[in-house]
Chain A
Amino acid sequence: MLDARDAAVTEQALPLPLGSVRFGSRQKKDGLLATTDDTDWADLLVKVRDHQDRAAFAALFRHFAPRVKAFLMKSGAGASLAEECAQDVMATLWQKAHLFDPARASVATWVYTIARNRRIDALRKARRAEPEELDWGPEPEPDQAEVMEAQEETERLGRALAALPAPQRTLIERAFYGELSHSEIAAETGLPLGTIKSRIRLALDKLRHQLG
């Protein structure tokens, strides 16, 4: 077992986590330089899931914890509460890694749902009912094309968000940062959500077929 210091050193020695698959030029087909780095977060989280890989966890932590902290602060948490909650979110990522299925959602989306639930718990002190869990779950050999599609969705949506007129983008941000009540939320996002819905729907149909 690594202790904390060893893991930190390992992580420094591996700025790019060993063995991570890079999507590389696939993400740059629009000819622009990618502004975010193109580490394969799903591969890292699968390493956490299957091998309790601490170096992979450290890489995920360095990327997502500061974002979760920013998300929580924008949602009204003070700096120290946001820091504590970001720690909780990353610990939950470790604990619930067995539920992560890279063919279903991107790592960013998965981390978002954990952070959102932690926010409801911390800031609103309410429970959040979650839908019944389906009898699916990480497949040992997921279809790589499906994984790729799910993982690239976040970046595609990010580009679509950036392309929205500023007022519309602001409305979406305000909704997700908790500045709008549910009756103030506008349903029309202008984002290409239909393709994501269809992908999940297909996966659900496949699952029902297998179960049926």
Chain B
Amino acid sequence: MTIRHHLSDQLLMAYAAGQLPEAFNLVVATHVSLCDECRARAGSFDAVGGALLEEAEEISMGEDALARALERIEGLPQATRSEPLKPAGIFPAPLADYVGGDLSAVRWRKVGGGVRQAILPTSKDATARLLYIPAGTAVPDHGHRGMELTLVLQGAFADENDRFGRGDIEIADEEMEHTPVALAGQDCICLAATDAPLRFRGLIPRLAQPLLRI
């Protein structure tokens, strides 16, 4: 598997800083599970956090803090190393965790044109969903609000700009107008996350909601 489309430095730094909405965290963690290059880059941003922590001014802990900590670990067994959970299907571990299993555990809902989706439970500052696009089918045209991340898990899609296969991530912003089409051969399954800014809440925006709930 050769991944050609990677996460941006901005997203990796925001992930390391703990500043991404939960839905974006999920997409980043899922991509990083498939991509050693981005795992290494994410590690380098974690190191920035480490350097900042080391340099941070100290704020004294309470007087009995150490005694309390020692008392606490007294009753705390150390975990022992276990074999990492390695899911057998197309979902890397963090995604399998959110879905509660593999592909068969997904509760799809039809959104028209053969396309199906499943919204995953995350905090409301952004939305994560799985998309199922039959081979050869176009994803209904949708404008982006804010940023949209799309990670391919199975099959491939192409738009006017490029081709995206398993592990590839597309980062689309508000300006980007595109019509992705799932390539022939295999149905395409993607994990997508979108910002859901507050200004889109309320009745009128809901009436105006595009086919794909965002």
A interface residue numbers (CB < 8 A to B)? 1-5, 7-8, 11, 36, 49, 52, 54, 57-58, 61-62, 64-71, 73-74, 79, 82-83, 86-87, 90-91, 94-99, 104-106, 108-113, 115-117, 119-120, 124-135, 137-138, 153-155, 157-158, 161-162, 172-173, 175-176, 178, 180-183, 185-189, 191, 193-194, 196-198, 200-201, 204-205, 208
Q: CA–CA, A96 to B74, complex, Å?
A: 15
Q: CA–CA, A201 to B73, complex, Å?
A: 35
Secondary structure type dominating chain B contacts: helix
Q: Which of A73, A176, A178, A183 has the most CB of B within 10 A?
A: A176
Q: CA–CA, A68 to B58, complex, Å?
A: 8
Residues of A near B94 (CB, < 8 A) are: 129-132
Contact yes or no, B17 A197, CB < 8 A: no
* B84 at the binding interface (Cβ < 8 Å): yes
| 8 A Cβ contacts from B67-95 to A | 67-74, 76-81, 83-86, 92-95
Q: List 16 A-B contacts (CB under 8 A).
A: A2-B70, A54-B70, A54-B73, A70-B59, A71-B53, A94-B73, A128-B18, A133-B85, A133-B93, A135-B86, A137-B81, A161-B52, A193-B41, A196-B43, A197-B44, A201-B40
B interface residue numbers (CB < 8 A to A)? 8-11, 13-14, 16-22, 24-26, 28-30, 32-33, 36-37, 39-62, 65-74, 76-81, 83-86, 92-95, 97-98, 122-123, 146-147
